[in-house]
């Protein structure tokens, strides 16, 4: 009987140890929790692109916070994101601004987009945003409100601002 009680105590103490070891050391701040939820709502890029080489480079950027002038996974703006991805994946150094990037590569029509094409947005013939086409009508970009995220080209905000695409590879 005493042996059974000792085993029960060991099981209870072990279970408590396991459960508490998985608990966060500090509570998650509301803005971090919001970003985590928004990130989890993004589509899995592997399902979107179906191309592992792009997935390995693009997926780790999702959820990166927006930072004007930023160029890393600690914080990035739209052209910092696209130039960082191309530098990491292909060793290609793109110009720093979305406007300058829109003059790089070969023009491609929207109906002929391929995964990896740079897509541009703006107003009144001035490019002010860039993203990367990931297939299935979606693009990945550094949004000022959501950080790096996947968005449909048909999105009511982005669709009327679409200005064109360029193929770098």
pLDDT in tens, 109-127: 999 999 999 999 999 999 9
In this predicted model, which residue has the larger pLDDT, 70 or 10?
Answer: 70
User: How many helices and strands, by DSSP H and E, does the chain display?
Assistant: 6, 8
Residue 9 scores a pLDDT above 80: no
Contact in structure between 129 and 68 (CB atoms under 8 Å)? no
Please list the alpha-helical segments (H only) found in the chain: 2-21, 30-41, 45-49, 52-58, 78-90, 98-101
Q: What residues act catalytically?
A: 78, 129, 141
- Least Cα distance to 123 among 101, 149, 147, 99 occurs for 99
pTM over 0.85: no
Q: Are 87 and 93 in contact (CB under 8 A)?
A: yes
pLDDT of res. 53: 82
Q: How far apart are CA 72 and CA 37, in angstroms?
A: 22
């Amino acid at each position: 009987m005493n042996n059974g009680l000792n085993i029960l105590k060991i099981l209870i103490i072990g279970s408590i140890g396991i459960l508490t070891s998985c608990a966060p050391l500090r509570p998650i701040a509301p803005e971090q929790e919001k970003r985590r939820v928004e990130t989890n709502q993004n589509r899995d890029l592997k399902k979107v692109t179906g191309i592992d080489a792009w997935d390995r480079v693009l997926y780790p950027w999702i959820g990166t916070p927006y930072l004007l002038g930023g160029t890393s996974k600690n914080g990035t703006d739209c052209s910092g994101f696209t130039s960082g991805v191309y530098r990491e994946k292909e060793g290609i150094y793109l110009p720093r601004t979305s406007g300058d990037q829109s003059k790089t590569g070969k023009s491609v029509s929207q109906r002929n987009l391929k995964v990896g094409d740079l897509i541009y947005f703006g107003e009144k013939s001035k490019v002010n945003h860039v993203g990367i086409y990931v297939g299935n009508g979606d693009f990945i970009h550094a949004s000022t409100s959501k950080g790096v995220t996947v968005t449909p080209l048909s999105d009511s905000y982005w669709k009327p601002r679409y200005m064109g695409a360029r193929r770098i590879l």
